[in-house]
Amino acid sequence: MSDYNFAYLDEQTKRMIRRAILKGLAIPGYQVPFASREMPMPYGWGTGGVQVSAAVLTPDDRFKVIDQGADDTTNAVSIRSFFERTADVETTTETKAATVIQTRHRIPETPLTEGQILVYQVPIPEPLRFLEPRETETRKMHELQEYGLMHVKLYEDISKHGHIATSYAYPVKVEDRYVMDPSPIPKFDNPKLSDCPAIQLFGAGREQRIYALPPYTKVVSLDFDDYPFEASKPNQTCGLCGADDSYLDEVIVDDAGRRMFVCSDTDYCEKRRSAGHRGRDAA
Amino acid sequence: MDGSHLQGGFADPAIDAARAFRSVMDAMARPGQIYTLQGAAPPQPISVAAGAVILTLCDADTPIFLGPNLDTPGIQAWIAFHTGAPFAGRSECMFALGNWSSLTPLEDFPHGRSDYPDRSATLIVEMPEISVNGPTLRGPGIQGSATLALPETVSFRRNHAMSPCGLDFIFTSGNDVAALPRSTEVI
């Protein structure tokens, strides 16, 4: 153990965050303001997610961190070791074994279960922010459920590109009430938000907002009757494990521009490979 | 004052509060499910569970309303020493503690505003027992439907009808805790 308080934050800060989490769970999809603290990492590296994780972790937890699906990137490795040092928690890279998973921009491929908590790192929590920069206005729009502007944006996508070109941070409506930004997850992950057995918590550090989805909450991706929502992904299979059902990253492998597609969820890909699955490009 | 109010806090505040919060969060996230709380020893007649909720969530930033049945110098001294929370009337509180009859009517508690529905009170309701033998519940956090014994149904239906504004309820008895957020529909 280190000389820090359990899970780094002081107790008063944790109480403040915990109260915000409870309000978020009671009003699914509503962004609860909270007094975000400076963390020992820059904004944009998961300060919101880290504060939410610090407020929910207990010493009995097994903690997993993924960054774009991967357990072994800088951000994931440092946040994992941060809580190993300050909260003395066990860590894991296995989705099934984890009780708390902090994520940047992905929902794991392996379905989540009742005992789990998924903590999202959120850069811009306000789904209407790029359409209306004034907080006073967006707050009023949420109050009055005035979400027409969001549909205009999706319509402009269709008129420009022939289809809804928004491919990540795809807006959703929670329990027929609040329009919510699911954080920049690919829209491939959107269907997993709804009716999920796990608790989903969203933390935006710089923007000082926390919001939440209790288990089994109805979450619908916005669309039109004649242009229904599609959870798209590259029409390829994973080069390493051959999976055709997981979200894929495109990787350039040499100077000649050769490329391959691989699972973005490293744990899912490794599990498949150790079960004997092989893709085209596997050595 | 005999100094007994100095006793009964969490033995290991950071860890005990972390564990207690998980039970409270699970309860709020899954209305109708019963969880347990421990580690607090509040003065009679406050339950262990209600004591743990107060130690976990209340501090100088959260005015508390005490139901008339609990508004005694001993209880005030315990809460003041362990949390530093100020006491307030119904309309200024963020948390309220008491049995059902001491908390009703609910009209005067802050229900939040339609632009800030989170600026509302959370009521910690002491119950004779927590049981799932009661009305049917539906809503976020519930797969299909759940049941929970409630002191009545009309107030909770009215509260849900105001959602996203409204009050959130934490029911406590002995070591047991369950919750009913405003998002839950009581059938």
Task: Give the pLDDT band (50/70/90) at residue A226.
Answer: very high
CB distance A117 to A201 below 8 Å: yes
Q: What pLDDT is attached to residue A282?
A: 80
Q: Where are the domains of chain B?
A: 9-186
**What digits encode the pLDDT tens for the residues A28-70?**
999 999 999 999 999 989 999 999 999 999 999 999 999 999 9
pLDDT at B9: 96
pLDDT in tens, B28-64: 999 999 999 999 999 999 999 999 999 999 999 999 9
Span B122-145, average pLDDT: 98
Average pLDDT, chain B: 97
The architecture CATH gives domain B9-186 = 3-Layer(aba) Sandwich (3.40)
Q: Give percent of chain A above pLDDT 70.
A: 99
Residue B6 sits at the chain A interface (C-beta within 8 Å): no
Chain A, 23 to 52: residues with Cβ < 8 Å from chain B are 23, 25-28, 30, 32-33
Q: Please report the ipTM that was assigned to this predicted complex.
A: 0.98
Cβ neighbours of A212 in B, within 8 Å: 29
Minimal Cβ distance to A27: which of B18, B61, B164: B164
DSSP code at position A200: E
Which residues on A lie below 8 Å from B26 (Cβ)?
A: 199
Give Cβ neighbours of residue B24 (< 8 Å, ≥ 6 apart).
A18, A22, B35, B37, B53, B56, B57, B170, B177, B179
What are the chain A neighbours of B30 within 8 Å (beta carbons)?
A: 214-215
- Please list every residue in chain A whose beta carbon sits closer than 8 Å to the beta carbon of residue B58: 15
Judged by DSSP in three states, A125 sits in coil
User: What's residue A147's pLDDT?
Assistant: 97
CA-to-CA distance for B40 and A81, rounded, in angstroms? 32
pLDDT of B1 reads 61
* pLDDT value at A283 more than 90: no
Q: Any CB–CB contact under 8 A between A199 and chain B? A: yes
Task: Decide if B183 and A30 are in contact by the 8 Å CB cutoff.
Answer: no
Q: Detail the DSSP E strand segments found in A15-56.
A: 32-33
A162 vs chain B: nearest CA distance in angstroms? 35
Chain B: give the shortest CA distance to residue A282, in Å.
Answer: 41
Task: Out of A48, A238, A239, A279, pick the active-site residue.
Answer: A238
The answer on pLDDT for A2 being more than 80 is no
pLDDT tens digits for A147-206? 999 999 999 999 999 999 999 999 999 999 999 999 999 999 999 999 999 999 999 999
Q: How far apart are CA B167 and CA B182, in angstroms?
A: 6
Average pLDDT, chain A: 96
A252 by Cβ neighbours in 10 Å (0-12 / 13-18 / 19+) ranks as exposed
Q: Is the pLDDT of residue A209 over 70?
A: yes
Does the pLDDT of residue B160 top 80, yes or no? yes
